[in-house]
Amino acid sequence: MSNMTTSATSQEQTEQNKQPRRRALQSGFSLLARAEPQIWFTGGMLAVCLAMVVSLMALILASGLPTFWPQPVDWLALRDGTLDAGEAKATSVVTPSKESTETENESGISFYYRTENFDLTKTHYRWFKPKDLLTSGIVRIPQTTLIERFEWGHLYCIPLRIHEPLEANEADKTSIDSFAAMDELLKFLSQLPSFSSGDDALGEAFTKGTQRTRELLDRAKSDAIHRSISQAGSQNVQVRAAGEQAWRPKSELELSAPLEAARAIVTAPEDIRTRVAKVLPIVRSQRKRLDQLKRELSRLDVRISKLRIAVRQAELDTASVLPIQLDGAHYLLEQRNQLKQISAAKTQVLSVLKDSNDAKLFEDLFSEFEQKQAPAELASIEKQLSDWRKPLGVSPQPLRDAVTNYEAGYSEVISAKQPIQKQITSLQAELERGELIVCVPNDARRIEDVSKDDLLQTASGKIAQPVIDLLNAMDTPVTEDSGNVLFASDALTLVSFSDNLATNHILSVSDKLNFLAEHPVGYHELVRVLPVNELTVGGKLSVYFSRWAEFLFEEPREANTLGGIFPAIWGTIVMTLIMTIAVVPFGVMAALYLREYTNGGTLVAIIRISINNLAGVPSIVYGVFGFSFFCMTIGSFIDGGPKGADIDVWPSATWYLVLWSTVAIGTAAFLFSFFSSGPFHAQTKLKHGLARAAFALWLVCLMAAIALIAKSPFFDGFYAAQLPNPTFGKGGLLWASLTLALLTLPVVIVATEEALAAVPNSLREGSLACGASKWQTIRRIVLPHARPGILTGAILAMARGAGEVAPLMLVGALPNAPELPMDSEFPFFHGSRNFMHLGYQIYSLGFQSQNSEAAKPMVFTCTLLLILIVATLNVAAVFLRTRLRRRFQGNQF
């Protein structure tokens, strides 16, 4: 029946099919004709994704890029009678809330300002509510200046004048220096035991010599000041007499009187500007030189600590204990060093004094000293030194040598340190020579009772006519407490219209007008001095780029909120590269074995699944593993051997037993695998068994080898002398890189496997048919063909690794690591050093720092930079990949 039905239906169908189809084309508007709904749907999804990515990027760009753009500075007059100044950052409209009773005061616009002047105000940012501000209380004063300081950050101010000590000439400087040196030397001599117990004649001569030196020094200083005043000519100079505190114009003092100090004062705005422009580069170079000197000093310190470690190493090597205190010799060595410099100091002073009576005095003093006291003194020091050394007599030779080396090295270092320290002191004095006096908002006090008339009276003749007009036209402001008060806002208008001279005057004439305060800024504090409100676009651009350059190439200061982040950039790049170098060979080898040598099966499937699952382990877990395995186990093992890593060692008999059995097992494994090789079709059951046994034996062999190293009783670590300070047994660049390499291993393995799978089998067969071995085929055909794909894996791994932060917290990244992990010092790469990392920087700036508000712009700039670095690495690798790929594609049509 059913058969019949089917045939009937099919017959009907054929009849139907014979009819010509009559479906007319739809005319008019058809949505479906435009596009399928799926296109809109998928396109819409893409648009959503794009919107999210773009808005993220836009947020980072918008917050990161303007950080260094110089913004105008406003002055704000507050209702409580104080002033503030800052860069506008944000506004928000305040709507009166229903519960609030003072609705009138609440409504309006709130302003968010970066007020800085941190040392004075203790705030970085501040909200100004509508009720805080005076009406029209925001004024932009043209001569407002932003000073970027080396410490304490920005300062918003108006420069008033410059104080600068007068320059002494070279001859005066030399004589001052030599008298000062002599003074110091005499002070040193007076502390020597031979002086306290010496005869009276010498003591008398010594006291006389000391007094005379002081006199000479004072006179030299005063003379130098007089000479420099006469050289300074018509400059505006103030002087201070000896023993006095107050500065006076030079005309008020007799110049023949002994002077203690003199300074030039610059007040004209243009002069201030030119002077600052001239000083800034000098300050910069001096600061750089200072850094250099400090680095040299620390290098000398490192040398001493190395010698100390060498002594400790000798102790360990000879299994003996140092019978003396190393530090015991320091004082003696320093004294000996000073004694040796006496004759040099004498010659210096005598060359200044020439043939005067004073010269005779010093000659006598020193001839006596050089002939009798000094040799005796030296001999006693030598004797003390040999006493100190005496217990060493029983110590073994290497230890004695190490101590001798230490002694010699220490004396060398202290004599090398002296000139450097002297240079540092003089450079610091040089840096602190001048100061810029500025006026800053004084938000601590109110202005009271300064009437308009007072001001006009006191400042008469100094205030420009428009200001006087303005003051006259001003209605007397009305406040709650008093009827006749000059408000800060009016004063601001006044300041903005008058020039520096008038401002100076206003400040100086009235103590009551204390909404502004004077503040000195030493030359050494200056980094940039910017007239922000008068900058042209070109000027702003140049400031912008110079700030970026500072950010990129300099070291951080002020808890990373200022200065650059070069160490973090460098740390990120070096770490990423080392991670890549570590992970790619491992990953590629593993993938090669999985794809080319295994023939599938459960074990391989399990391995593959495990590798894929590794990618899902939270990265902090890798950090924990890296810390406990790399730092605490392997690192401690490298530092101090099995003892350092808390591993019980085998007795040497056991160790040798295991060694020989391992060799035997290894040989057996080799033989087993040798005899089990061959093509599959030729394999017997015996061979199959042999292959399995060989694999097991290799495993045992590997385990035994690891145990042999870990349990060796003969290894005491490479850095035992430094213990208990760990070298590798703590976080460091190497361990961080390896931890991240482990983290990114799955990425590389999966990508490489896919790349290998994409190599056409016909190529492998072609190569094998040519008589190539499997390895030759892999090396010459498969790997080159898979290289673009492998590179893709490496790129992904790099991007993942560079952006990873969590594990780094545990394995070596620090918010501030002064030493670069890779530099020009031998051995160039210091894997054990801590390092800085951009990602970690973002975390520590944004969430760990004391004032995260101040660090916020830096957070976004760091993010931007990190993205840029990752993008650059990616683009470079993509470029490389495209070039490689082009080689394999040819120009097929």
Nearer Cβ to another protein (245/892): 892
* Distance (Å, whole) CA 289 – CA 753: 54
DSSP character for 533? G
Identified binder of another protein from the candidate list 552, 621, 770, 876, rule CB under 8 A = 770
- Alpha helix segments (H runs only) across 393-536: 397-431, 452-458, 465-473, 488-497, 500-509
Binding characters for another protein, 650-679, by CB under 8 A (x = yes) = ----------------------------xx
Nearer Cβ to another protein (323/766): 766
In angstroms, give the least distance from the CB of 754 to another protein: 18
Nearer Cβ to another protein (679/827): 679
595 near another protein, rule: CB under 8 A: no
Binding characters for another protein, 403-422, by CB under 8 A (x = yes) = --------------------
353-367: burial string, b at 16+ Cβ within 10 Å, e else? beeeebeebbeebbe
Tokens of 758: 């994409």
In angstroms, give the least distance from the CB of 668 to another protein: 22
**Number of chain positions touching another protein (CB under 8 A):** 29
In angstroms, give the least distance from the CB of 770 to another protein: 5
In angstroms, give the least distance from the CB of 780 to another protein: 7
Nearer Cβ to another protein (106/596): 596
Nearer Cβ to another protein (264/781): 781
10 Å CB burial of residue 701 (0-12, 13-18, 19+) is buried
Identify each DSSP E strand in 285-393 by its residue range.
none
* Of 66-74, 470-478, 729-737, 883-891: span binding another protein (CB under 8 A): 883-891
In angstroms, give the least distance from the CB of 680 to another protein: 6
Identified binder of another protein from the candidate list 20, 243, 724, 771, rule CB under 8 A = 771
Identified binder of another protein from the candidate list 708, 768, 796, 880, rule CB under 8 A = 768
Nearer Cβ to another protein (130/784): 784
Nearer Cβ to another protein (281/679): 679
Nearer Cβ to another protein (396/784): 784
**Binding to another protein in span 676-695, by CB under 8 A:** 678-682
Identified binder of another protein from the candidate list 8, 59, 302, 763, rule CB under 8 A = 763
What 3-state class would DSSP assign to 267? coil
Secondary structure (H, E, C), 719-777:
CHHHCCCCCCCCCCHHHHHHHHHHHHHHHHHHHHHHHHHCCCHHHHHHHHHCCCCHHHH
Residue 583 CA neighbour count, 13 Å, CB half: 34
- 51 and 93 Cβ atoms separated by less than 8 Å: no
603 near another protein, rule: CB under 8 A: no
**Binding to another protein in span 775-834, by CB under 8 A:** 776, 780-781, 784-785
69 near another protein, rule: CB under 8 A: no
Asked if omega into 724 is within 30° of 0 (cis), the reply is yes
593 near another protein, rule: CB under 8 A: no
602 near another protein, rule: CB under 8 A: no
Tokens of 863: 């993010």
In angstroms, give the least distance from the CB of 699 to another protein: 23
Q: Which residues pair with 75 in a beta bridge?
A: 85, 139
In angstroms, give the least distance from the CB of 757 to another protein: 16
Using N-to-C axis directions, what is the helix angle for 200-232 and 357-368, rounded to 10°? Answer: 140
Phi, psi (deg, nearest 5) at residue 767: -70, -45
* Of 289-297, 692-700, 764-772, 829-837: span binding another protein (CB under 8 A): 764-772
**Binding to another protein in span 276-315, by CB under 8 A:** none
Nearer Cβ to another protein (680/826): 680
- Alpha helix segments (H runs only) across 593-651: 602-614, 619-625, 636-644
In angstroms, give the least distance from the CB of 574 to another protein: 34
- 206 and 189 Cβ atoms separated by less than 8 Å: yes
Nearer Cβ to another protein (80/765): 765
CA-wise closest residue to 810 among 840, 774, 787? 840
Residues 6 or more apart whose Cβ sits within 8 Å of residue 325: none
233 φψ region: left (φ > 0), alpha (ψ -120 to 50), beta (else): left
766 near another protein, rule: CB under 8 A: yes
Residues 6 or more apart whose Cβ sits within 8 Å of residue 275: 162, 164, 266
760 near another protein, rule: CB under 8 A: yes
In angstroms, give the least distance from the CB of 782 to another protein: 11
Identified binder of another protein from the candidate list 599, 602, 824, 850, rule CB under 8 A = 599
883 near another protein, rule: CB under 8 A: no
* Distance (Å, whole) CA 878 – CA 25: 49
Q: Give the residues lining the site for another protein (CB under 8 A).
A: 599, 678-682, 760, 762-763, 765-773, 776, 780-781, 784-785, 887-892
